[in-house]
Chains A and B, each alone.
Chain A
Amino acid sequence: MSSLAITVIGRDRPGIIAETTAVLADLGLNLEDSTMTLLRGHFAMMLICAGLPGSAEIERALSGLAAGGSLSVSVREVPEESTRPSVGSSYLLTVHGGDRPGIVSSVAAEVSRVGGNITDLTTRLTGDLYLLVAEVDLPPGVDVAALQTALGGVAADLGVEVGLRPVDSDEL
């Protein structure tokens, strides 16, 4: 039993997910975690599944999907990763402002500098407005106020607004 990472990217149309997952189900693969969204109108799906078939067999089975040339499919075996909960504090990072190159890299560099780990990221460009929303895990001991100041400095240089606020969840 191996873990396989499958990506499907290309022109969106109804039925891509149904067709892809039907092929995977026929091969006896078990879909585990997956995410799919539209990125500037492009269909983009990534999924991790588990099963006996190897990547070559799966790629062959999915070749019909890619045959028209509008979708590209990749399959590769990946090692099992730990799904244990991360330890630390969770924050929501938001950036918005006029579009220009380097916003994501500059902001991500500040997060990386303190050992922060981005666990979810969405960016959108709409007109001239650029938006970034990210979930960030900060390890114990990070000086959050200092990070906020550093991010503020980067944002001022870029001419964008930045926010970093804690996200807590409540056990009910």
Chain B
Amino acid sequence: MRLVDDIVGRWTEQDLGPGRVLDVVRAPSPVLSTGGAPVDPAAPEVVRLAADLVATMRVSPGCVGLAAPQVGVAASVFAVDVSSHPKARTHHGTLVLCNAAVVEATRNEKGREGCMSVPDLTGDVKRATHLVVAGRLPGTGEDVQVTADAFEARALQHEIDHCHGLLFLDRVAGAHAVHPRKTYL
């Protein structure tokens, strides 16, 4: 397995081709609890799904990640892009991974998360701030390993959870750790 930085550095979302903007499903849709089956990252329909996830993420204000179950597809594919988020420290730009799994997760920090699929609530969730993730790139199918920190690490864990049928609600830090969403100014 090669390190991500040289492979992902060459990879761009243009490799996926144009995507369609899909509707985002909301809890309690069963697909959000089903999780995603492993996919063949080189299959044309998986590449198209990856492009759709990127396109849908792009048109959703403030959205830094989207997983296939959130567009109603029970597949282990997600997109993240935290590059313009103020809490990002390092990042990999637009990153789309298939069949991703956490290899290493350390240095937990609590943060308050929202999710397009749970639009009325936020929750306090502990996430690792140092993360190593293994997955495969859509299209080429190359195996990659991503080392992420800070906000990108949180976003990756949130999306990998979606691919395993988990919402942030499954990880909230306590009975009083779920809050009504506020409209921030």
Contacts and interface: CB of A to CB of B under 8 A. Distances in A.
A49 B147 CA distance: 47
> Would you call the interface of chain A mostly helix, strand, loop, or mixed?
strand
B158 interface: yes
B114 interface: yes
B112 A170 contact: yes
Interface stretch (B4-12, B47-55, B96-104, B174-182): B174-182
A172 interface: yes
Interface centre among A85, A140, A169 (most CB of B within 10 A): A169
A168 interface: yes
Interface in B28-68: 62-65
A89 interface: yes
Interface in B117-131: 120, 122
A167 B85 CA distance: 16
Contacts of A35: 176
A89 B183 CA distance: 8
Interface in A118-139: 119-120, 122, 135, 137
Given A120-B179, A169-B113, A88 B154 contact: no
A37 B120 CA distance: 23
Contact of B115 (A119, A120, A122, A172): A172
A63 B164 CA distance: 45
Contacts of B114: 169-172
B21 to A, nearest CB: 17
B65 A85 contact: no
A87 interface: yes
Given A88-B182, A120-B179, A135-B179, A172 B112 contact: no
B176 A120 contact: yes
A172 B176 CA distance: 21
A87 B185 CA distance: 8
B116 A171 contact: yes
Contact of B184 (A89, A122, A172): A89
A140 B185 contact: yes
Contacts of A37: 175-176
A169 B118 CA distance: 13
B116 A122 contact: no
Nearest to B60: A171
Contacts of A169: 111-114, 122, 179, 181-182, 184
A135 B182 CA distance: 12
A170 B116 contact: no
A105 interface: no
Interface centre among B63, B65, B154, B185 (most CB of A within 10 A): B185
B115 to A, nearest CB: 6
B176 A85 contact: no
B87 interface: yes
Interface in A33-78: 35, 37
A172 B155 contact: yes
13 contacts: A83-B180, A85-B120, A86-B182, A87-B183, A88-B182, A120-B179, A135-B179, A167-B112, A168-B112, A168-B184, A170-B114, A172-B64, A172-B155
Interface of A: 35, 37, 83, 85-90, 119-120, 122, 135, 137, 140, 167-172
Closest 4 interchain pairs by CB?
A169-B112, A172-B158, A169-B122, A171-B62
